[in-house]
Amino acid sequence: MTARKSGSRLETEIERCRSEGQWDKIPELVRQLSAKLISNDDLGELLLGESKLQMYLKENPIKQGSSPRGPRQKLVEVRKHLTAALDRGNLKADYLQEASLLMAKICYIEGEYKDALGHYNRVSLEDMQLAGAPVYRLSMIAEAYATKGLCLEKVPASSPSLSNKNSGSPLTNRTPAEREQEIITCYEKSGDIALLYLQEAEKALSAGIQNRSPKPGPTAQDLELGYFLETGLQRAHVIHFKNGNLTQGVGRFREILRAVETRTTQNLRMTIARQLAEILLRGMCEQSYWSPLEDPPTVSPLDNPTQQGHTYSKNYTLSRRPRVYSGENLFCPQENTEEALLLLLISESMANRDAVLSRIPEHNNDRIISLQSASVVYDLLTIALGRRGQYEMLSECLERAMKFAFEEFHLWYQLALSLMAAGKSARAVKVLKECIRLKPDDPTIPLLAVKLCIGPLHWLDEGEKFGKMVIEMGEKAAEFRAKGYLAIGLVYSLKATDASLRSTQEEYQRKALGAFQRAQSLSPTDHLAAFYLALQLAVSRQIPEALGYVRQALQLQGDDVHSLHLLALLLSAQKHYHDALNIIEMALSEYPENFNLLYTKVKLEAMCRGPEEALLTCKHMLQIWKSFYNLTNPSDSGRGSSLLDRAIADRRQLNAMTLPDFSDPDTGSVHATSIAASRVEQALSEVASSLQSSAPKHGPLHPWMTLAQIWLHAAEVYIGMSKPAEATACTQEAANLFPTSHNVLYMRGQIAELRGNTDDAKRWYEEALSINPTHVKTMQRLGLILHQLQRYSLSEKVLRDAVQVNSTAHDVWNCLGEVLQAQGNAAAATECFLTALELEASSPILPFTIIPRAL
């Protein structure tokens, strides 16, 4: 810097250094200044004093809550500079004020609070102009207000020096409330001016970068706030909250957050946003909320009624205020969860930006800090979104947390749970695997995984693995051990249903039974264990034993719908149809909208009370369906709104179906091939269902599936009444929804048979089988037709296949016997008839497997 600067340029340079806090450059600039004009000496003193004071504070920062320091050697020099500047009285008024403010600051540092207050009174802080003030002066004024607040807090209220006559201080004879009011006003003013200063400084800085001369100027440092500005920005709300004055505290938080952010306030904003979000979530409710642009309520339950006397009312205006976010169509939250969510999303984006990615040991601490601040945000997000059931969005947010998640169990687990709640089962299982790795001793995690494997995913092998994990934990799993056995029993039970070889089937049934017995003995008070044991016994046609356990289950849980349903089916297997119907009706009084129960009711009514009653029930079902799904949400809740999300969610719902394959005895819905078949239905019907934007969110069944089933049930009743026209009409309704469903095709075949049109019937049955090759009912009818057509060996083949798929279908055995008889194989035929007879004696009105099996 050889070239001497012209006067004005020099002054600009000094102003810039003061604004940007580059105190180390001041002495050199002062040297140039004094060389110019002798009258600049006083200003020089002021500048030197200031820069030395600031350097001192930089080297010895004041900590929050630290005690005063007393006189300091280094400060003596500063005081000398300032006294020199003040004494001669040659300074301009502005500079005189600045020198006084600096003096007051020294007084504060040295613990001379009353002196500091005296200085502030002399310069009449309130009158200092904000408009047109250079940037650095805004910072000085903000600091001065903060320091004044600090001094007022330190000085006892009744201090005699405050009634000093020549100070003319308005502090005399004040009530504590008035004093408090003044203190808070000081801090709030300080905070507002500090925000203004930071905005102006940043503006100047970016302008400076653009206009800077081509020489490589020193790059500007980050502005640092320092003790005084930090206090000024935050002390006001700290006091509000300490006084139990939540409305004012929240109001102050919002004022700070609404000011346009600057680089320096980013961290403060993040902290405050998080704190405000937390207050909104755990200290407020919908009724006590007021929006940021509204005036706070005058009486609020949020303010602590026990701490009277802390009534603060904001009563100042500043000539310049910090810029706030403005513009058209600004989103302003109208509800506490909305505001919390907005704040958390902002915090999240900041926390994410600060995610420390490097894993070298030196950055361990940084990583922990960034992880902690992010976890708080994610936990609060979970609380806010969970409360509103927005799991889809939550899972996306938590997915973004994964950059913090290396070896962090909590984040992984929360992600897994959110995926599960959002219905993203496959991903959830994968994440749960990682959770198991991180915390191998927790039995809940593998159990959650089994739940998904058994339910929506139908991943039975995986499920078996997870179930075994729980069992292998042994005693450690404590109360979850029984649950583990229950889980693995369900896996085996479902595998048994899926198996196509009789021996495998029996093997799995045996294993399932063993597991359920174990679960039941480990947890005799769990109705689920008793219930599934009963169900498994029922499936293996041990009817009396099953009845014993289902009664036990009902004793433990009297209104369990599945136990009641099973009881009814068991009674129907014993041919006590009237008792069964009574049970169903009783169950329906508690579960009037349960379609599964209603299907059984239709069957039983047709049996006991004639088809008219059954038709009435079908009509009733249609009414329920309508009232249920007509009321669907206008905007899709609970799921993502994007088309993609919706498609995924729909597919998930459809896959989740464990709906009874109603006309198919004993081959429950979960048979592997019937799943494949229903997938075809789904794929083909997806177009149809996506047209209806508002699919109901609850209920395990897709509503359209339910509707089709109701129609098919009605059709079946009409077939029983030999009314082909009505049956056709009902089938057509179902066909409109699922034109390629094997159930629809099967029903058409039956109608054709009823009309005596064997060829058509055969064609329909063949089509049904081409969609679902293991549909036993169809196979049985087809076998029968082939028998009538005297194609015995083909008929025998079809029927033997059917028996292979489901060995408990008594009518298939019966048909097989007839075919064998027609072929002249009397011995084998007899055996078939005997089997059929035996099975018929224990056959329920609908297969036991229509009862869903889930954990």
Query: What span, in angstroms and rounded, lies between the C-alpha atoms of 727 and 714?
Result: 7
To the nearest whole angstrom, how small is the minimum distance from the Cβ of residue 557 to another protein? Answer: 7
Sign of CA dihedral 252, 254, 255, 260: positive
Query: Which residues on neighbouring strands pair with residue 324, listed in sequence order?
Result: 259
Residues 540-569 that bind another protein (CB under 8 A): 556-561
Indicate which single residue of 22, 32, 444, 807 sits in contact with another protein (rule: CB under 8 A): 444
Nearer to another protein, 643 or 841 (CB): 643
To the nearest whole angstrom, how small is the minimum distance from the Cβ of residue 56 to another protein? Answer: 19
Nearer to another protein, 28 or 559 (CB): 559
Listed in order, strand segments (DSSP E) in 476-590 are none
Which tokens go with 636? 């899709």
Which tokens go with 836? 């059929």
Q: Which stretch binds another protein (CB under 8 A): 588-596, 776-784, 800-808, 822-830?
A: 588-596
To the nearest whole angstrom, how small is the minimum distance from the Cβ of residue 255 to another protein? Answer: 11
Indicate which single residue of 366, 472, 612, 759 sits in contact with another protein (rule: CB under 8 A): 366
Query: Which residues on neighbouring strands pair with residue 721, listed in sequence order?
Result: none
Q: Is 286 in the site for another protein (CB under 8 A)?
A: yes
Nearer to another protein, 336 or 674 (CB): 336
Query: What span, in angstroms and rounded, lies between the C-alpha atoms of 8 and 573?
Result: 105
Indicate which single residue of 29, 123, 152, 393 sits in contact with another protein (rule: CB under 8 A): 393
Indicate which single residue of 108, 391, 466, 813 sits in contact with another protein (rule: CB under 8 A): 391
Query: What span, in angstroms and rounded, lies between the C-alpha atoms of 845 and 327?
Result: 69
Query: What span, in angstroms and rounded, lies between the C-alpha atoms of 642 and 632?
Result: 18
To the nearest whole angstrom, how small is the minimum distance from the Cβ of residue 513 to another protein? Answer: 23
Q: Which stretch binds another protein (CB under 8 A): 164-172, 324-332, 804-812, 820-828?
A: 324-332
- By the 10 Å C-beta count (0-12 exposed, 13-18 middle, 19+ buried), 747 is classed as buried
To the nearest whole angstrom, how small is the minimum distance from the Cβ of residue 244 to another protein? Answer: 5
- Contact criterion met (CB below 8 Å) for 95 and 85: yes
Q: Which stretch binds another protein (CB under 8 A): 425-433, 500-508, 741-749, 800-808?
A: 425-433
To the nearest whole angstrom, how small is the minimum distance from the Cβ of residue 323 to another protein? Answer: 11
Query: What span, in angstroms and rounded, lies between the C-alpha atoms of 567 and 597?
Result: 12
SS (H, E, C) 455-507: HHHCCHHHHHHHHHHHHHCHHHHCCHHHHHHHHHHHHHHHHHHHCCCHHHHHH
Indicate which single residue of 406, 474, 502, 612 sits in contact with another protein (rule: CB under 8 A): 406
To the nearest whole angstrom, how small is the minimum distance from the Cβ of residue 296 to another protein? Answer: 13
Nearer to another protein, 95 or 628 (CB): 628
Q: Which stretch binds another protein (CB under 8 A): 284-292, 598-606, 708-716, 717-725?
A: 284-292
To the nearest whole angstrom, how small is the minimum distance from the Cβ of residue 145 to another protein? Answer: 16
Nearer to another protein, 134 or 333 (CB): 333
Question: In this structure, what are the phi and psi dihedrals at residue 671, rounded to the nearest 5 degrees?
Answer: -65, 135
Q: Is 390 in the site for another protein (CB under 8 A)?
A: yes
Listed in order, strand segments (DSSP E) in 651-693 are none
E strand or H helix that includes residue 584: helix 577-590
Residues 241-280 that bind another protein (CB under 8 A): 241-242, 244, 246, 249, 257-258, 260-261, 263-268, 271, 273-275, 278-279
Query: What span, in angstroms and rounded, lies between the C-alpha atoms of 838 and 564?
Result: 25
Indicate which single residue of 6, 60, 129, 334 sits in contact with another protein (rule: CB under 8 A): 334
Q: Is 598 in the site for another protein (CB under 8 A)?
A: no
Q: Is 230 in the site for another protein (CB under 8 A)?
A: yes
Indicate which single residue of 72, 122, 174, 403 sits in contact with another protein (rule: CB under 8 A): 403
Number of shown-chain residues binding another protein (CB under 8 A):
161
**What are the residues whose beta carbons fall under 8 Å from the beta carbon of 251, sequence distance 6 or more?**
296, 314
To the nearest whole angstrom, how small is the minimum distance from the Cβ of residue 462 to another protein? Answer: 15
Query: What span, in angstroms and rounded, lies between the C-alpha atoms of 845 and 596?
Result: 13
Number of neighbours of residue 472 by Cβ within 10 angstroms: 11
Residues 450-469 that bind another protein (CB under 8 A): 451
Indicate which single residue of 2, 66, 73, 287 sits in contact with another protein (rule: CB under 8 A): 287
Which tokens go with 561? 């719908």
Residues 673-732 that bind another protein (CB under 8 A): none
Question: In this structure, what are the phi and psi dihedrals at residue 259, rounded to the nearest 5 degrees?
Answer: -70, 140
Map residues 639-658 to x or -, x wherever contact with another protein holds by CB under 8 A: -xxxxxx-------------
Q: Is 477 in the site for another protein (CB under 8 A)?
A: no
In this structure, which amino acid lies at residue 651?
R
Query: What span, in angstroms and rounded, lies between the C-alpha atoms of 449 and 842?
Result: 35
- Contact criterion met (CB below 8 Å) for 420 and 452: yes
Coil, strand, or helix at residue 243? coil
To the nearest whole angstrom, how small is the minimum distance from the Cβ of residue 733 to another protein? Answer: 25
